[in-house]
Structure 1
Amino acid sequence: MTQGGALSYLVPLETRTRGVAVLDALAAMIESAGLTIGDRLPPEVSLAATLGVGRSTMREALNRWEGLGIIKRRQGDGTYLTARVQTSRGLVPTMVRLEGEALLRLMEVRRTLENDVVRKAVIAANPSQRAEIGRLCTLLLIEVDAGRPWRKADHAFHGAIYDASGNPMYGQILANLDHALERGGDSPFGADAFGLESFPIHRTLADAIVAEDVEGSVAAINAILDTVEDEVKAIVGGGLSGV
């Protein structure tokens, strides 16, 4: 399928819609045109003109997909698909499912890094660092139990574990990974309710680190990640069978 041929699957949007409507139209085009990973998308200017939206709107939409790892821009060459794109068949919006799938890919990387950092933290942490990890976990769970915003406390808790590992690069890499995954303002994966079921296991993780229990700490971080992955799959599962 040529780039120009793919454009035939687009129709102008009725209004100069921003964001999700543009991305939904692009997802439908990719699926209908049979474009797959490694294929090049039509030029940005052609996409914008065919949908009847401004280039800035199209650029913003493609930036969001690039942040999700769905496309990759090659300067002077074009924009290429780097992940599967299919429209949803169920009740879950296409963009929610694509965000969820991107989050699952990110968590594969996180799991490798988190296992290593937790193992190193248990071995390298000094008594004051262990006490701080336990204290910050208590503060985190107080915020969660009170129904207050918890992200700052969560970052502090995990940051203490990264510091205890003795390698500050862990924290920087994991923070960059999280920031690289762009979520929409109405994304369920950015809501305070997302991931709540994992927080009781944070206590298990903190206690294992304090007790210098390597295997228990690794098991706890994997249990946390498993819980979050299960929640992601539950959210996106209605969008496409087999996810």
Structure 2
Amino acid sequence: MPELFPKKPGITSSPTIDPLVHLNADGQKRDVLDALSLMIERAGLGIGDRLPPEVEIAKKLNVGRSKVREALIAWQNMGIVTRNKKAGTRLAAEVSSKSLHMPVTLKLEAESLLRTHAVRRPLEIEAVRLAARHVTAQQSKIILARSAELMAVYEAGENWRAADHRFHKAIHDACGNPLFEQLIRQIQDGFNAIYEAPFGQPHLGQATIPLHPGIADAIADGDEKQAVAIMGTIMDIVETEVRHMMGDQNV
């Protein structure tokens, strides 16, 4: 039986090594993507190369086709693959650990996070600018209350993710344009569908939390410049953390 993902010319490997890992039937979406990442690297596939049909991947991995579809859609949302009926599923980003001293799945995780962060950055900055310009007295109270809630959870040493989401949602509601909330949520959902805890660290970005009250105060005061400056600093800190972790990872 021919290999599902035949090697490209010049790629050498033992003929007994199958590029796909046989998973347990209850394998999860992350497991599927880990196996696909390994397959792609072993097979030497590059940008523009086509992946086999979902049904073939599912059969080889011993998982349901729906799990393969969900996993590939998640990759599509993060810009790793493109999908359409005529062209099939093709790689849109490099899946290789050769350029970095880190496992291929962590490299993908880091690059995906940086891509989503790059798109989210201007949206978040413009959202706080508009919020500072259009915020009402009632919305200011809500933003300040969400800020106080976030700091209370953070200072108690508890998981602050949910409180952080509520804080930012209050800002998005105050900016006067519902598209900001929709677009940012889509970006977050696309990444969080797989990577709820990037690099296994659920508190990535924790260093930015003490800066959040400053945003709340700036918006409540109608200070667009200050709100934008603090949000820019927050986004810089998160990006720096991701890049730092990429440099620290070893195979």
Q: What root-mean-square deviation, in Å, do the aligned CA atoms of Structure 1 and Structure 2 show?
A: 3.0
Alpha-carbon distance between aligned partners in 1 of 2:97 and 2:212, rounded to the nearest angstrom = 36
- Whether 2:143 is the aligned partner of 1:143: answer no
Letter in 2 for 1:129: Q
* Amino acid of the structure 1 residue aligned with 2:147: C
- CA displacement 1:12-69 (0-9 Å, x = unmatched): 53664735555344334433444322221233344445x4534535445434433433
Alignment match, 2:115? 105
State the partner residue of 1:233.
243
Contact 1:115–1:221 (Cα < 8 Å) also in 2? yes
- Tell whether 2:6 aligns with 1:5: yes
State the partner residue of 1:156.
166
Question: Is residue 6–residue 30 contact of structure 1 (8 Å, CA) maintained in 2?
Answer: no
Q: Hey, what does 2:11 align to over in structure 1?
A: none
- Report runs of 4+ in structure 1 exceeding 6 Å deviation: none
Following TM superposition, by how much is the alpha carbon of 1:183 offset from its aligned partner in structure 2, in angstroms? 4.3
**Given residue 121 of structure 1, which amino acid in structure 2 is its aligned partner?**
A
Instruction: Name stretches of at least 5 consecutive residues in structure 1 with no aligned partner.
Output: none
Give the SS at the match of 1:38. coil
Structure 2 residue aligned with 1:53, among 39, 50, 62? 62
Q: Secondary structure at the match of 1:5?
A: coil
| C-alpha separation in 2, matches of 1:15 and 1:118 | 45
Would you say how many aligned residue pairs link Structure 1 and Structure 2?
237
* C-alpha distance in structure 1 between counterparts of 2:221 and 2:63, whole Å: 58
**2:50·2:90 contact (CA, 8 Å) conserved in 1?**
yes
- Matched with 1:31 is 41
- Counterpart Cα distance in 2 of 1:215 and 1:186: 32
Query: TM-score, normalised to structure 2's length?
Result: 0.79
TM-score by length of 1: 0.81
Once residues 52 and 124 of structure 1 are traced to their aligned partners in structure 2, the CA distance between those partners, rounded to angstroms, is 52
Question: Percent of pairs identical after alignment?
Answer: 38
Instruction: Measure, in 1, the Cα distance between the counterparts of 2:105 and 2:33.
Output: 7
